[in-house]
Amino acid sequence: MSAEKIKTEEKSLNFLEEIVENDLASGKYTSIMTRFPPEPNGYLHIGHAKSICLNFGLALKYGGRTNLRFDDTNPVKEDIEYVDSIKEDVKWLGFEWANELYASDYFETLYEYAVKLIKKGLAYVDDSSPEEIAAQKGTPTEPGKGNEYRNRSVEENLDLFARMRAGDFKDGEKVLRAKVDLASPNMHMRDPLMYRIKHADHHRTGNAWCIYPMYDFAHGQSDSIEHITHSICTVEFIPHRELYDWFIEKLEIFPSHQYEFARLNMTYTVMSKRKLLELVNDKIVDGWSDPRMPTIAALRRRGYTPESIRLFCDKIGVQKRENLIDLSLLEFCVREDLNKNATRRMAVLDPIKLIITNYPDGHVEELSGENNPEAENGGGSRPIPFSKELWIEREDFMEDPPKKFFRLGVGLTVRLKYAYIVKCTGFKKDEDGNVTEVYAEYISESRSGADSSKINVKGTIHWVSVQHALTAEVRLYDRLFKVEDPSNEEGDFKEYINPDSLQVLQKVYIEPALAAAFPGERYQFLRKGYFCVDENSTKEKLVFNRTVGLKDTWAKEAKKG
């Protein structure tokens, strides 16, 4: 019983998978087709990643295919720059689309569809202004009213619509509307707009058109043309579904079906394109790929892996209810991946000098450090030079160490990673009371791998040899906002920006094995976290971005006092 139960629990499907399995089992479809339909008016963010993983993941799981379709029906907001970034991001996430398509590919077909509806008496040209149309639509509690244009003849509508296309009218002078139901409790059914006039160049069709279809008269039709079986979108489109189905029914075209899920929200960030654009335009961040942003481009630059993002999308699940996912889950997912795969190196972020007083002057030993304890055979090893003077982390020494401090303090012993055990003998301060140097004696028979000292130490610290150290810049990132849900706070969301979301360390000492690090490479700096070589890093000036810190139970302990 229990084994069987466990088996079925492992198989538990999300509601979209259930729908697909039912449709396949019932024979409604023999294979499925999905699509990812971004509007090229901004960069993709982690919320889109959820949609991408859902659409591509469903097709992958059930042997279907997925189109990448740009929903490019509004030329004034869209740009080729965004098309390119979107393609790059989807590819980087690890998905391959069956076809690269554009709603604008269907402009001619869509026009014919519109003509068909006019001929059926189901669409009409309206000369009203936006304000008049809005007024005539009524309110959720009062039905809308028609106007004289609603009764135009099919011939007149055909003629007017053709002239709209021909450019006989100015922007806003006329629109094409579907004749549905002005009294519908669903506002989207109160004679929705199908086409508007925009004398604007389109990034793909240039000046071929001056009328452009609205979302509701492009999206479902595009789905239908592509024989999309499961058209997955977010819950704010639920009220559109009735219209989606209405157009398909009246047009008598392939019946695609729309299903909705709740968009992703994450703590300490914002997810709307409008707000992200505002952060970019107001220079609060340094562009769409600033590593503090929730965009795919930013996460990539920050050091997140495609695997970690896919794992995250898998773990958050999918439902229709509102949600706010803990940022810590995303962080868990990167650590999970990077722990297994990131090469280990030593870097001292906040250096202080440690002098090993009983170590011979000028002597250098070449020690060996494994590249990754999680990998087979430690992932190989690299040489690490050791000498009398080392950089160690300032926080690894305390003048007055508390009881459970397993690092340096006068009289305390620690292991220098990959090297010797040392005992702290003293330190030096400047006039301001800052510790400038720490002194220690090493135990010569405690060398890593050949330790006959029988000494047990509680702590191990990282270090870099002073004369061999390389210098690098390190950028430490923290959450962009001070509050969990900035969009839900009083006032402007920008009031809640975390002023300390970026800290730049100019003088970080790193071990020489890092000399050849190239942009995009990911490392774990021992005891400090995961770091990614920035895209602008050069051999002359190495720059690292901190992806995420290691879990730090000592920091918690210390905070408790």
Partner RNA sequence: UGCCCGAUAGUAUAACGGUAGUACGACAGUUUUUGGUACUGUUUGUCGUGGUUCGAAUCCAUGUCGGGCAACCA
Cα separation, 30 vs 193, in Å, equals 35
Q: Give dist(CA 304, CA 332) in Å, integer.
A: 11
* Candidate list 263, 353, 394, 494, residue with the active-site label: 263
Q: Which stretch binds RNA (CB under 7 A): 356-364, 443-451, 471-479, 502-510?
A: 443-451
274 is catalytic: no
Q: According to the 3-state scheme, what is the secondary structure of 206-238?
A: ECCCCEEECHHHCHHHHHHHCCCCEEEEEHHHH
Q: Which of 87, 116, 198, 273 is catalytic?
A: 273
By the rule CB under 7 A, 406 interacts with RNA: yes
CB of 93 to RNA, least distance (A): 19
For position 137 contacting RNA by CB under 7 A, the verdict is: yes
Which of 447, 475, 522, 546 binds RNA (CB under 7 A)? It is 447
Instruction: Work out whether 413 is an interface residue with RNA (CB under 7 A).
Output: no
Contact set for RNA, span 373-402 (CB under 7 A): 373-374
Would you tell me how many other CB atoms lie within 10 Å of the CB of residue 50? 23
Which 175-204 positions form the footprint of RNA (CB under 7 A)?
175, 185-188, 193, 196-198
Interface segment toward RNA; rule CB under 7 A; list 85-93, 139-147, 348-356, 429-437: 139-147
Q: Are 226 and 67 in contact (CB under 8 A)?
A: yes
Site for RNA in 20-79 (CB under 7 A): 37, 39, 71, 73-74, 77
For residue 263, indicate whether it is catalytic.
Answer: yes
Q: Based on the shown chain and the rule CB under 7 A, indicate whether residue 147 belongs to the binding site for RNA.
A: no
Residue reference for tokens 């942009």: 519
Contact call for residues 179 and 123 (beta carbons, < 8 A): yes
Q: Please give the Cα distance from 366 to 352 (Å, whole number).
A: 22
SS3 state of residue 546: strand
Q: How far is the CB of 79 from RNA (least distance, A)?
A: 13
Q: Does 408 bind RNA (CB under 7 A)?
A: no
CA–CA separation, 373 and 378 (whole Å): 4
Cβ nearer to RNA, comparing 153 with 488: 488
Least distance (Å) between residue 358 CB and RNA: 18
C-alpha closest to that of 257 among 217, 216, 227: 227
Kindly report the number of other CB atoms within 10 A of residue 122's CB atom: 18
Count, residues near RNA per rule CB under 7 A? 95
Q: Does residue 494 interact with RNA by CB under 7 A?
A: no
- Interface mask (CB under 7 A) for RNA, residues 307-326, using x and -? --------xxxxxxxxxxxx
One of 4, 7, 12, 491 touching RNA (CB under 7 A): 12
Which residues, 6 or more positions from 282, have their beta carbon under 8 angstroms from its beta carbon?
494
With CB under 7 A as the contact rule, the residue among 129, 151, 444, 467 that binds RNA is: 129
Residue the block writes with tokens 């890093």: 537
Distance between CA atoms of residues 285 and 497, nearest Å = 10
Q: Which of residues 227-246 bind RNA (CB under 7 A)?
A: 235-240
Alpha carbon distance 422, 413 (integer Å): 6
Give min distance, CB of 173 to RNA, in A: 7
Give min distance, CB of 215 to RNA, in A.
3
Closer CB to RNA, 172 or 538, in the complex: 172
The yes or no reply on residue 468 touching RNA (CB under 7 A) is no
Closest CA relative to residue 96, chosen from 47, 55, 38: 55
Position 522 contacts RNA (CB under 7 A): no
Is-contact 165 211, C-beta < 8 A? yes
Residues serving a catalytic function are 39, 263, 273
